[in-house]
């Protein structure tokens, strides 16, 4: 874990109260709750980004495969019509 840095943020009062409740339950400083939340958010975002990239690659691959199949069918169809195998 890197060096801790101080920062100031603006947050809605009701949200801050919820964070304070969690900090009290966990017996950790409020800043630790924020750190945990940000770490979790970043992990989730990285996972979503990776999944999006995988899905994009799959769609591109599928489109490319479809084009290859179309070309193959055309060639194969012509060969059958011409009596070639």
Q: What is the pTM of this model?
A: 0.61
Tell me, what's the pLDDT at 64?
A: 76
Q: Taking 60 as the threshold, does the pLDDT of residue 72 lie above it?
A: yes
Q: What is the DSSP string of 10-73?
A: ---HHHHHHHHHHHHHHTS-HHHHHHHHHHHHHHHHHHHHHHHHHHHHHHHHHHHHHHHHHHHH
> What digits encode the pLDDT tens for the residues 15-57?
999 999 999 999 999 999 999 999 999 999 999 999 988 888 7
Q: Which of 74, 58, 44, 13 is nearest to 36 (CA)?
A: 44
Q: Taking 60 as the threshold, does the pLDDT of residue 81 lie above it?
A: yes
Please give the residue that has the higher pLDDT: either 60 or 2: 2
């Amino acid at each position: 874990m890197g060096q801790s840095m101080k920062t100031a943020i603006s947050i809605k009062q009701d949200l801050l109260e919820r964070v304070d409740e969690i900090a009290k339950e966990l017996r950790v400083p409020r800043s630790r709750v924020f750190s945990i939340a940000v770490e979790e958010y970043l992990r989730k975002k990285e996972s979503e980004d990776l999944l999006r990239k995988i899905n994009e690659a799959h769609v591109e691959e599928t489109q490319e495969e479809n084009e290859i199949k179309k070309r193959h069918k055309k060639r194969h169809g012509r060969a059958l019509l011409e009596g070639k195998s």
